[in-house]
A and B are shown apart, each in its own frame.
Chain A
Amino acid sequence: MRLNTMAFYLHRITGVILAIYLCVHLCFLTTVKTGQYSSLIKVTLSRQFLPFDLMLFLIGIYHGVNGVRLIIHEFGFLYRHRKVLLYLTFAIVLTLWIAVAWEVMR
């Protein structure tokens, strides 16, 4: 599979995951009203839950940074350098993810 095709499918897959997460997030926030928030947030902030959080950050960062790359191309910029921009996207995603993970795990 070509890198560009992989980036396209990854953008779609991460988008679907984030849309599902949006609904789950709203359901979770409902517990602020119903009174179970404090006990639930203890579970989601636990060590065992950290891998899910880190995965969510990676998915969000990828979708965001790759989205900006797509917008740049849609406006007709840097189309001749799309391979370089794709590699740059992966590098930025990885750097941001490591920085965010470092900050959250401190």
Chain B
Amino acid sequence: MKGLGWLMQLLTGLALTFLVAYHFLITHIFGSLQLNEVVARFHELKAFYAVLLVVVTFHAFNGLSVIAEEIGRGRLAKAFYVVMAVVMAYGLLLLLSV
């Protein structure tokens, strides 16, 4: 995996170490998973969760696409980018509607 896809995978991976660690800390260590707290976090940290969603979805499906490419499934590799767009749109809609 080289080129822009490789660079983006590397940069999003690096960003995710901080984003996911922060998400874990505020949900499991300093906060809880009770409904009212989850909804409050969605409202207070909307921008953070929008960034996390976009970065993590890109990293996940770009990674799957690379694996598909490596095992010779070119069409599946392309399909993962479509799934990526759908998951991103669904997640952002969910975030905005809560």
Contact = CB atoms under 8 A, between A and B. Distances in A.
Contacts of A45: 33
Contact of B61 (A19, A38, A67): A19
A32 B98 contact: yes
Nearest to B60: A19
The secondary structure that dominates the A interface is helix
Contacts of A71: 10, 13-14
Nearest to B83: A23
Interface residues of B, number: 29
A37 B35 contact: yes
B64 to A, nearest CB: 6
B94 interface: yes
B15 to A, nearest CB: 11
Given A32-B38, A45-B33, A67-B13, A19 B63 contact: yes
Contact of B91 (A12, A26, A64): A26
A12 B14 CA distance: 17
Contacts of B64: 15-16, 19
A33 B61 contact: no
B29 A103 contact: yes
B98 A33 contact: yes
B54 interface: no
B56 interface: yes
Interface of A: 12, 15-16, 18-19, 22-23, 26, 29-30, 32-33, 37-38, 41, 44-45, 60, 64, 67-68, 71, 74, 100, 103-104
Interface of B: 10, 13-14, 16-17, 20-21, 24, 28-29, 33-35, 38-39, 42, 56-57, 60-61, 63-64, 67, 87, 90-91, 94, 97-98
